[in-house]
Amino acid sequence: MRQHKLALCKEHYLEWMPEQTERFIKKYDMFTHYEKILVAVSGGKDSLGLWDILVRLGYQADGLYLGLGIDEGINYSHESRRLAQKFADEHNLKLHIVDIEKEYGQPIPVLAEKSHRGYGKPCAVCGLAKRHEMNRVARDLGYDVLATGHNLDDEAAVLFGNTLSWASEFLLRQGPVLPSSDGLARKVKPLCRFYEREMTAYCMLRGIEYIYEECPFAEGSQSIYYKELLNQLETARPGAKLTFYLRFLEARKTGDLFIEQNIEQAHLHLCPKCRQPTSTDDLCSFCRMIEKVNATA
Ligand code: Q46
Ligand code: ZN
């Protein structure tokens, strides 16, 4: 691992990953052993690796799988669900499953098409639905915190995109922890300092079976493009990605960033239908999207 100037054997690597994770959980005050954690599981290496690490560290962590109804000729949702369930069964863990089609009448690609959001790609609607459902389940089932498997490559790509457009509101919100607010569970990203390939190595060494394919709709996305750019940078300057992200966190913490005002609570109120906070005047964006789709059905 050139970026850490470190070389480990299998045995020590499998100890090092949970140790580091525990260090980050404490450093950023993510959660304690007394809290109930809901891990968003997609069937991919990051989320399954995260779940595995948290359980090995003795945390009370249940899983949540969202069935998006994405097929695209490779049976994507079906296969990812099978692997998430397999992991849960093998480790005797509780996995909640929410099927978007059963819950809201249509799978994600159809919701996207009918609601005319996102220029031919379902990702905008998908992201909206995922955030909404993760929050809903965390709230309804009484979880203290919602954990996602975002790794350093993900976070650096988002940071890069936000920096390119100086999206100050998003920059202020990006970090390992997003505190809870009325009706919204705390959100944490315990893997945000691990490189993607460190997660791949962890899953391989632990024998975790995960879905290799990315969601077919991810192809050609901006975030993949940014990841490629950052990988070029990383090849030339090992550690650059980590420095980029960590320096940002420091600057944000010390208030050295160009942003000064506090956007904490941008006039949120509760959506009359689902009772989740929203900045819109009436129904939240998700509920409005569902209404629109049902109206045209
Ligand atoms: S947003 Fe888009 Fe992802 Fe949803 S449709 Fe697939 S690629 S899964 S992270
Ligand atoms: Zn709503």
Strand ranges (E), the chain = 36-40, 60-67, 95-99, 145-147, 177-178, 186-188, 269-270, 277-278
Note the ligand closest to the C-alpha atom of 287: 2
Q: Give yes or no for residue 215 CB within 6 A of ligand 1.
A: yes
Asked if residues 55 and 94 have their Cβ atoms less than 8 Å apart, the reply is no
Q: Please tell me whether residue 284 adopts helix, strand or coil conformation.
A: coil
pLDDT at 144: 96
Q: Give yes or no for residue 211 CB within 6 A of ligand 1.
A: no
Note the ligand closest to the C-alpha atom of 215: 1
Q: Give yes or no for residue 229 CB within 6 A of ligand 1.
A: no
Nearest ligand 1 atom to alpha carbon 108: 5
Give the whole-angstrom CA distance, residue 28 versus residue 265: 21
Give the whole-angstrom CA distance, residue 185 versus residue 135: 6
Neighbours of ion ligand 2 (CB under 5 A): 271, 273-274, 284, 287
Give the whole-angstrom CA distance, residue 174 versus residue 246: 12
pLDDT at 256: 67
pLDDT at 253: 85
pLDDT (tens place) for every residue of the chain, 297 residues total: 888 888 999 999 999 999 999 999 999 999 999 999 999 999 999 999 999 999 999 999 999 999 999 998 899 999 999 999 999 999 999 999 999 999 999 999 999 999 988 777 899 999 999 999 999 999 999 999 999 999 999 999 999 999 999 998 889 889 999 999 887 889 999 999 999 999 999 999 999 999 999 899 998 899 999 999 999 999 999 999 999 999 999 988 887 665 545 555 557 889 999 999 898 889 999 999 999 999 987
Give the whole-angstrom CA distance, residue 89 versus residue 87: 5
Among protein residues, the one with the nearest Cα to ligand 1's atom 7 is 218
Give the whole-angstrom CA distance, residue 56 versus residue 17: 11
Name the DSSP class of 12: H
pLDDT at 252: 87
pLDDT at 128: 95
Crossing angle of helices 45-56/76-91, nearest 10°? 10
Among protein residues, the one with the nearest Cα to ligand 1's atom 2 is 123
Q: Give yes or no for residue 122 CB within 6 A of ligand 1.
A: yes
Taking phi over 0 as left and psi of -120 to 50 as alpha, with beta for the rest, 6 belongs to beta
Pocket mutation for ligand 1, best pick of 45, 123, 148, 227 (most atoms within 8 Å of C-beta): 123
Give the whole-angstrom CA distance, residue 157 versus residue 140: 32
Q: Give yes or no for residue 216 CB within 6 A of ligand 1.
A: no
Note the ligand closest to the C-alpha atom of 74: 1
Q: Give yes or no for residue 126 CB within 6 A of ligand 1.
A: yes
Q: Give yes or no for residue 218 CB within 6 A of ligand 1.
A: yes
Pocket mutation for ligand 1, best pick of 150, 215, 224 (most atoms within 8 Å of C-beta): 215
Structure tokens at 6: 């470190």
The alpha carbon of 8 and the centre of ligand 2 are apart by a number of angstroms equal to 48
Structure tokens at 95: 């996995």
The alpha carbon of 251 and the centre of ligand 1 are apart by a number of angstroms equal to 30
